[in-house]
Amino acid sequence: MSFLDYAPAPESQALLNLRSDYGLFINGEFVAGRGEPFQTINPATEKPIALIAHANTADVDAAVASARRAYDRTWSKLSGSDRGKYLFRIARLVQERARELAVAETLDNGKPIKESRDVDVPLVAAWFFYYAGWADKLDHAGVGPTPSSRGVAAQVIPWNFPLLMLAWKIAPALAAGNTVVLKPAETTSLTALLFAEILQQADLPAGVVNIVTGGRETGQALVGHPDVNLVAFTGSTGAGRAIARSVAGTDKKVILELGGKAANIVFDDAPIDQAIEGIVNGIFFNQGHVCCAGSRLLVQESIHDDVIDRLKQRLSTLRLGDPLDKNTDIGAINSADQLRRIRELTDIGEQEGGERWSPACVLPESGFWFAPTIFTNVSTSHRIARDEVFGPVLSVLTFRTPAEAIAKANNTPYGLSAGIWSEKGSRILAVADKLRAGVIWANTFNRFDPASPFGGYKESGYGREGGRHGLASYLKPASGRSAARTVAAAPAEASPELDAKAAVSRKKAAK
């Protein structure tokens, strides 16, 4: 046995006290669902973990009613600093129970424990800490003085970062003074329910956060519910389109964070070893189940062969296997459905003439697995260069000039993220300026921070999450007259207030 086969180092599951079945979290308590409960399974072994309740329309009604009651009676009346205290408390409890949450996330989702431990859960805590700080500073959120909350937020989240997406949604909503009904993805409800226990521990007033589990129809019932004021969704572009259609004509505020097909552009003057790491992290992080994954590698012609050579060498050191092993780099694909889709698209990639390569790696017998794969000889018309694969599959294209790189990078219906690798600062700025993508990383990839807004152009959705912009989505300006009066009286000093003034004057002009 070689040293690089590292002896097994599994994370212990001893801390995790899972129940055999979970109800819906409505009005501060777990209650039985009225639909047919379903199993959530470990995608690495296909073994059942727990039975999850299924919310039907009546359950969704109850959850929204509970959120409305909590909004009217408690949460909208609390001061910002008091809301902040709850959020700080939640953040600390997430940190205290970090290891438990990481193990649960890995069991239910299939992602490697080193990612849930070092990325997902710490970011969850960071998100709550960050927005806790905002709760009493809403005047500076950029929507004018004394903004108000929107009411009840309906939030539907995906399966790729179950707990992190929950934090992205719940933390700003609560800081802004809204109450929430959240629906986790069908295959990954577990950590949302552990989070519900944390809310009980934190003594969050009943009904401020409600969690309904179930399938697509549960989500449809929630976003279509007449008593929700805001719909926030992260998921596929197809589902996002359906949501946009269903809320059209209502006064619901909508935030959509959808798919992506990000270009990761490597220039010939890039810091090559770090660029290789960035390419690997860009597409193989979380098995490529990342909406902002760098799934299209655009590499300058002159260094193409060298980059591919180095990339292949690097990929052969990646370790695929038991997600709970601390040395695992690539975990399991989240579901049989997703695995089917990845296989389908990669087969098409081969048929269309892409040259397929994977490192030698043994896939476990049970569970859903897909070896890291790169396609060279890909052109912009190939489906693997256009469709979002949402798996560990990289398409490599080349370019000769910066103009060509920009044109190819922008030639996609999506526009969520992009990466630029170059040692030349002026080039980075010039190229970034012309890329139509919401997030652009320079000499890094897949970096997230609660202070940084995140969101897309074109079919990647609208609205921003994270930072001040993410907070603003959950607020609305104070009613026209009083806002105008306050602004007129306010001296022009700090920039947030200038922003606020600009926003208000734009609004007036629109009227």
Q: Which is nearer to other proteins, 90 or 103 (CB)?
A: 103
The question of whether 361 is a catalytic residue gets the answer no
What is the Cα–Cα distance from 293 to 389, expressed in whole angstroms?
10
* Residue choice 148, 327, 410, 452 for contact with other proteins (CB under 8 A): 327
* Residue choice 99, 326, 436, 469 for contact with other proteins (CB under 8 A): 326
Does 8 bind other proteins (CB under 8 A)? Our answer is: yes
Site string for other proteins, 118-157 (x = CB under 8 A): x---------------------------------------
Q: Which is nearer to other proteins, 29 or 449 (CB)?
A: 449
* Residue choice 79, 200, 317, 505 for contact with other proteins (CB under 8 A): 317
Q: Which is nearer to other proteins, 76 or 444 (CB)?
A: 444
The residue count for binding other proteins (CB under 8 A) is 25
| Tokens representing residue 173 in the block | 């909503």
* Residue choice 28, 162, 278, 456 for contact with other proteins (CB under 8 A): 278
Q: How far is the CB of 4 from other proteins (least distance, A)?
A: 5
Q: Which of residues 451-490 bind other proteins (CB under 8 A)?
A: none
Does 248 bind other proteins (CB under 8 A)? Our answer is: no
Per CB under 8 A, the segment of 265-273, 285-293, 352-360, 448-456 that binds other proteins is: 265-273
Does 57 bind other proteins (CB under 8 A)? Our answer is: no
Residue 299 phi/psi, 5° resolution? -120, 140
What is the Cα–Cα distance from 127 to 158, expressed in whole angstroms?
17
C-beta of residue 180 within 8 angstroms of C-beta of residue 204:
no
CA dihedral 386, 389, 394, 395 (to 10 degrees): -20
Per CB under 8 A, the segment of 171-179, 198-206, 272-280, 381-389 that binds other proteins is: 272-280
Does 13 bind other proteins (CB under 8 A)? Our answer is: no
Longest dimension (CA), the chain: 76
The question of whether 257 is a catalytic residue gets the answer yes
Does 197 bind other proteins (CB under 8 A)? Our answer is: no
Q: How far is the CB of 304 from other proteins (least distance, A)?
A: 15
What is the Cα–Cα distance from 109 to 115, expressed in whole angstroms?
11
Active-site residue, selected from the candidate residues 105, 186, 291, 388: 291
Q: Which is nearer to other proteins, 390 or 445 (CB)?
A: 445
Does 269 bind other proteins (CB under 8 A)? Our answer is: yes
Name residue, tokens 């719940």: 170
C-beta of residue 471 within 8 angstroms of C-beta of residue 497:
no
Q: Which of residues 14-53 bind other proteins (CB under 8 A)?
A: none
Does 344 bind other proteins (CB under 8 A)? Our answer is: no
Does 427 bind other proteins (CB under 8 A)? Our answer is: no
Amino acid at 408: K
Does 282 bind other proteins (CB under 8 A)? Our answer is: no
Does 444 bind other proteins (CB under 8 A)? Our answer is: yes
- What is the DSSP track for 229-269? SEEEEES-HHHHHHHHHHHTTS--EEEEE-----EEEE-TT
Active-site residue, selected from the candidate residues 100, 105, 115, 257: 257
Q: Which is nearer to other proteins, 133 or 271 (CB)?
A: 271
Does 305 bind other proteins (CB under 8 A)? Our answer is: no
* Residue choice 89, 97, 111, 114 for contact with other proteins (CB under 8 A): 114
If one counts every other C-beta atom within 10 angstroms of the C-beta of residue 101, the result is: 27
What is the Cα–Cα distance from 295 to 391, expressed in whole angstroms?
9
Amino acid at 330: I
Q: Which is nearer to other proteins, 123 or 194 (CB)?
A: 123
* Residue choice 277, 352, 404, 499 for contact with other proteins (CB under 8 A): 277
Amino acid at 470: G
- Which whole-number Å values give the CA distances from 209 to 57, 71, 166, 206, 303, in the listed order? 18, 10, 11, 7, 52
Does 58 bind other proteins (CB under 8 A)? Our answer is: no
Does 85 bind other proteins (CB under 8 A)? Our answer is: no
C-beta of residue 449 within 8 angstroms of C-beta of residue 425:
no
Per CB under 8 A, the segment of 175-183, 206-214, 266-274, 379-387 that binds other proteins is: 266-274
Per CB under 8 A, the segment of 6-14, 56-64, 362-370, 390-398 that binds other proteins is: 6-14
Q: How many residues does the chain have?
A: 511
C-beta of residue 255 within 8 angstroms of C-beta of residue 453:
no
What is the Cα–Cα distance from 436 to 458, expressed in whole angstroms?
9
What is the Cα–Cα distance from 87 to 178, expressed in whole angstroms?
13
What is the Cα–Cα distance from 168 to 461, expressed in whole angstroms?
16
Assign 139 to helix, strand or coil: helix
- Which whole-number Å values give the CA distances from 49 to 186, 209, 326, 484, in the listed order? 13, 24, 21, 55
- Which whole-number Å values give the CA distances from 484 to 42, 309, 468, 500, in the listed order? 55, 62, 22, 11
Name residue, tokens 């770090």: 274
Q: How far is the CB of 94 from other proteins (least distance, A)?
A: 21
CB-based burial label for 315 (10 Å; 0-12, 13-18, 19+): buried
* Residue choice 166, 263, 270, 320 for contact with other proteins (CB under 8 A): 270
Catalytic residues: 257, 291
| Contact residues for other proteins, defined by CB under 8 A | 1-9, 114, 118, 269-274, 277-278, 317, 326-327, 423, 443-444
